[in-house]
Amino acid sequence: MIAESLESKKKRALEIIKGLEKKFPEAQIELNFQNPIQLVVATILSAQCTDKRVNMVTPALFKKYKTEKDFANANVKTFEKEIHSTGFYRAKTKNIIGCMKGIIKHFGGKVPNRMEDLITLPGIGRKTANVVLGNIFGIPGLVVDTHMRRIANRLGLTNKQDPGKIEFELNEIVPKKDWTLFSHLIIWHGRRTCFARKPKCTDCIVNTLCPSREDIKEVSVGLVKKIKVAS
């Protein structure tokens, strides 16, 4: 199989964006928040948890904890109970409280707007940082979550599995101005069409741009069977 050139991938990525924009014109972050602190908390909670579940937990949480100081001074055991249903509640409690203390101590109580600063805070890796940068500060960022990793591989835009390597490879393929939009579109696509176990290839608006679509797999399987029979 001939490897696809970078230029070809760039052109295909633009077509994928165009198709997904047509399918999901309303695509945006699905976590509910009203300020940077709330988005940081919600994004940390969303690790290994659905946005739907997080959005069920945060209304009461944000009503009780209104500022970074409120979160920083939260009672650990009480907070663990309040976020218990999001999973990994002990680690998330430690990270959220530690993150808010770090924001107060090192950044004057304001969420920083630079990647290199954000990733120094507990609970914030490149994924969370890109969510914050793109959705609060308007700074383009590629969010590599489970959907992005799965779909970028299926689309043949990368063959990497490490989130950092995927992000840096896609940075060369997707126009910088579209990084945040591309993230929203891929996540929406993953939640509504390109499922992990059984993607709905017949309903996919970009299936002609996807080397992993089901009809190609079926043809490949058929050819293998014919070869085996012939041999």
Q: Does domain 36-136 bear CATH number 1.10.340.30?
A: yes
Q: Which of 127, 165, 177, 228 is catalytic?
A: 127
Which of 145, 177, 178, 225 does the annotation list as catalytic?
145
To the query of whether residue 145 is one of the catalytic residues in this protein, the response is: yes
Domain extent listing, the chain? 6-27+144-207, 36-136
6-27+144-207 has which CATH code? 1.10.1670.10
What pLDDT sits at residue 148? 98
Is residue 84 within 8 A of residue 91, CB to CB? The reply is no
Closest CA to 170 of 193, 143, 189, 191: 143
Q: Is it true that 6-27+144-207 and 36-136 share their CATH fold?
A: no
Q: Where are the alpha helices (DSSP H) in the chain?
A: 6-23, 36-45, 51-64, 68-72, 76-82, 89-107, 115-118, 126-136, 146-154, 163-173, 179-192, 214-230
The answer to whether residue 127 is catalytic is: yes
One pLDDT digit (tens) per residue for the chain, 231 residues = 578 999 999 999 999 999 999 999 999 999 999 999 999 999 999 999 999 999 999 999 999 999 999 999 999 999 999 999 999 999 999 999 999 999 999 999 999 999 999 999 999 999 999 999 999 999 999 999 999 999 999 999 999 999 999 999 999 999 999 999 999 999 999 999 999 999 999 999 999 999 998 865 544 434 334 434 444
pLDDT at 214: 80
